[in-house]
Amino acid sequence: MLRVNKSPATPHYLSVEEALVRLNSLLPLAVRQAELDPPFRALHRAILRWLAIEGESPSFAALLVEAGVADGAAALEQLRAADLVVVNGGGRIVGAYPITLEITAHRVTLDGRTRYAMCAVDALAIGPMFNLGTRIESRCHTCAAPLSFAQDDQRIRPAHLLRDVHVGIAWQATGGCAAHSLCREMLFFCSASHAASWQAVSRERNSVLSLSQAIELAKRFFLPLLADRPGVA
């Protein structure tokens, strides 16, 4: 039987392994963090936890004390240069992957607190990183339908969204700040067919993952940033 509708109904799926390799080649956060002096690494982790728990620009002085960093300006410049933190024009920290204080299309609620994620993959990382259930609100990139689901590690509610929701990555260079480039093109889709129609525009550039694949990618990419946390060796 001939198909009348030529737009693809199902996407071509990228493997989690390949997605992880490609993401780390563009934005090697864990490698960059590992290369930091231990106090600077501790400062980066303190910033991540602060953004998750407090959700506003940290009291930088308090974080410096916590991390044992003497030269705050040098530390911040090194973290910014490595794209481990995003700093605004006033020199204030406004984000550290996966969390941002800038309003994005991906709202994440944890313990009643509202945060924003840099991108779709980042949104899926926040719950596993901080051992919290989250609610993620975003929109389908193809049809703009609102998407809202609860994430408790691999468990998604409503459960059917684990099958329906897809994540797309339009690969591109980060230009020194992935938050304002690559991350703008890591997207949610409401269905396999809407992911597939987006992918059909450029199969080379546009990769698609199922939601469970994207959660796995998010965990493998982001959990190493908090690797000294018990249970995440």
Kindly state the smallest distance separating residue 143's Cβ from Zn ion, in Å.
Answer: 3
- Give 138 or 207: the residue with its C-beta nearer to Zn ion: 138
**Stretch binding Zn ion (CB under 5 A), from 8-16, 65-73, 151-159, 193-201:** 193-201
- Give 165 or 225: the residue with its C-beta nearer to Zn ion: 165
CA torsion sign, 130 to 132 to 137 to 140?
Answer: positive
Q: Does position 43 bind Zn ion by CB under 5 A?
A: no
CB proximity list for 29: less than 8 A, separation 6 or greater: 83, 84, 97, 221, 222, 225
- Give 140 or 179: the residue with its C-beta nearer to Zn ion: 140
- How many C-beta atoms surround the C-beta of residue 114 within 10 A? 12
Q: Does position 142 bind Zn ion by CB under 5 A?
A: yes
- HSE (side-chain half, CA atoms, 13 Å) at 167: 27
- Cβ atoms 178, 26 nearer than 8 A: yes
What are the strands, taking DSSP E only, across 104-176?
Answer: 107-110, 113-117, 134-139, 146-152, 155-157, 166-170
Q: Does position 218 bind Zn ion by CB under 5 A?
A: no
The contact mask relative to Zn ion for 92-131 (x = CB under 5 A, - = no) is ----------------------------------------
Q: Does position 141 bind Zn ion by CB under 5 A?
A: no
The residue whose two tokens read 């929701």 is 165
- Give 122 or 164: the residue with its C-beta nearer to Zn ion: 164
Q: Does position 78 bind Zn ion by CB under 5 A?
A: no
Token pair for residue 81?
């240069």
Q: Does position 217 bind Zn ion by CB under 5 A?
A: no
Q: Does position 206 bind Zn ion by CB under 5 A?
A: no
Chain residues in the site for Zn ion (CB under 5 A) = 140, 142-143, 145, 190, 194
